Structure 1
Amino acid sequence: MEAVREIETKTRPSDEEKRKYRMRAAAFLATVSGMAAFAGFGRTLTNARKQDQKLYEQATVETVNLIEAGTKLATKALAWGTFYAVLGTGTFFYGVWKLSGAKNMDEFRHKMGGILPKISKDSQSGRTEFDGLNDLMEYVSSHKKPE
């Protein structure tokens, strides 16, 4: 029994190996999707240029003007949206702080801890972490609810 456990621990990949594998997988997917997007965009431009050369040239000049106007509009919308989001969120949290009557962060934490419901550490039954989607699906399909 002890030999089986020792073999299992030796064959399991370490956290560092798992992290490296995930990084390599993410880099691979990003590279493949970037190349596919670039190739698709290039192919679309080539087909548009072949179909009607004059229309393509006219569209590029007009598109540049539209892109500049659209960029200015998008930048302005992003700036105002950011301003309203920061202002609204800041006002909300400042109001909660003032309504609580706390004078410092520690006092605020204790007051909110008294108001909000307690989460017990014993409430979880079963697994909470899985190696991957297959592991999760196997657990869900084989797990029986306690009655």
Structure 2
Amino acid sequence: MRALIQRVTQASVTVEGTSVGEIGAGLLILVCAMPGDDFDTARALAAKVSKLRIFHDAAGKMNLSLAQTGGAALVVSQFTLAADTSRGNRPGFSGAAKPDEAETHYLHFAHCLREFNIPTETGRFGAEMKVALINDGPVTIWLDTDAP
């Protein structure tokens, strides 16, 4: 799986003008399932995200995890993270998992974050979404897991 993680003070996602997910301080996580991913891949990524020490401690150092701060996660499916731009100017997306598989792994990733006691909201898989955020820092981190 692939994820782009942004530390935020707030984030929201709307579909057709209706809010479907909203958080305060925490992480906006854009996630893409890749061919070969499975439930274990989604769980491993969720564990990594929940423990990633990118929040400030009392001394102002990035030393605390999302789990330690009590922050929330907004998880948004984004197949375009699998874009292949190696040929021409139009990206190809064959590196993303097929939609039915991708949705299953995306939802399992969000489920695993909840199991790690992270309050988690989601976007709507396959929908045209509008995502709003206030990036904190800014802190933006790219994560890839190894497919099994």
TM over 0.5: no
- Higher strand proportion, which one? 2
Higher relative contact order (CA 8 A, sep 6+): 2
Please give the range of the TM-score, normalised by the shorter of the 2 chains.
under 0.3
- Higher helix proportion, which one? 1
TM-score, length-normalised on structure 2?
Answer: 0.18
